[in-house]
Amino acid sequence: MTLFAFHVVVIVLGILSMGFQLLASRLLNPHFGSSIIVWAWLISTFLAAFSIGSMVGGWISNLGPVGRRRGQLIGTGTALVTLAITALAAKPLLNLIEEHITDPSWSLFVSCVGIFFLPVTALSTFGPQCVQFLAGRGTPPGKASGVVYGVSTLGNIAGVMLTAFVLIPHLPVSTLLYLWLGVAAVSLAALVVLLRPASAS
């Protein structure tokens, strides 16, 4: 049961990460258009967040139980606070950036990094910790890594398809951002509970 819940949470985190990229594009389009330049910055920002999040998550995994617990709570807090800022204030922030930074490339860079980098980085820190969780339960590390990233990538695919074909056609982006915040709160809370035994061991 614990393993089933664990895999569900990993899938949900995958859905949140990549679905968020499509929502981000919808937020950026009115301000910066939908050119390939926008997509280049957006994809690069997300990949940078995946990269740094994974490295930070790997570092957290190697900490002692108290440090790991602290890292999980900071990761959860950062993800939820930054997702809440996106839901509440992304549009005013984008207006502000567009108004004050007239160079299109710079304003796009600041928007991508300022609004989308932190929540995705925070979500990504949990990937290596999930691997650690499985490895701590006796799964060989290589297999644990393959399972977590395989399942997470399935979640990524589901996130893209669900967001593009079901959610964006039927719901406003502002509503979806609150949905993302709510789902992230529930799934991260569940993950923090699931990871607790590993950190206590």
Q: Between 32 and 41, whose beta carbon lies closer to other proteins?
A: 32
Q: Does 106 bind other proteins (CB under 8 A)?
A: no
Least Å from the CB of residue 99 to other proteins: 10
Q: Pick one of 78, 139, 153, 174: the residue that binds other proteins (CB under 8 A).
A: 174
Q: In whole angstroms, what separates CA 172 from the centre of its chain?
A: 20
Q: Which stretch binds other proteins (CB under 8 A): 10-18, 28-36, 118-126, 186-194?
A: 28-36
Q: Pick one of 3, 47, 66, 171: the residue that binds other proteins (CB under 8 A).
A: 171
Q: Between 153 and 174, whose beta carbon lies closer to other proteins?
A: 174
Structural contact between residues 123 and 79, judged by C-beta atoms closer than 8 angstroms: yes
Q: Pick one of 2, 5, 35, 59: the residue that binds other proteins (CB under 8 A).
A: 35
Residue 106 DSSP code:
H
Rg of the Cα atoms in the chain: 17
Q: Does 100 bind other proteins (CB under 8 A)?
A: no
Q: Does 29 bind other proteins (CB under 8 A)?
A: yes
Q: Between 6 and 32, whose beta carbon lies closer to other proteins?
A: 32
Residues in the chain, overall count = 201
DSSP string, 135-201: HHTT--HHHHHHHHHHHHHHHHHHHHHHIIIIIHHHS-HHHHHHHHHHHHHHHHHHHHHHHHHHHH-
How many angstroms separate the Cα of 94 from the Cα of each of 129, 132, 161? 33, 38, 26
Q: Between 86 and 199, whose beta carbon lies closer to other proteins?
A: 86
Chain residues that interact with other proteins, rule: CB under 8 A: 26, 29-30, 32-36, 91, 98, 102, 104, 165, 168-174
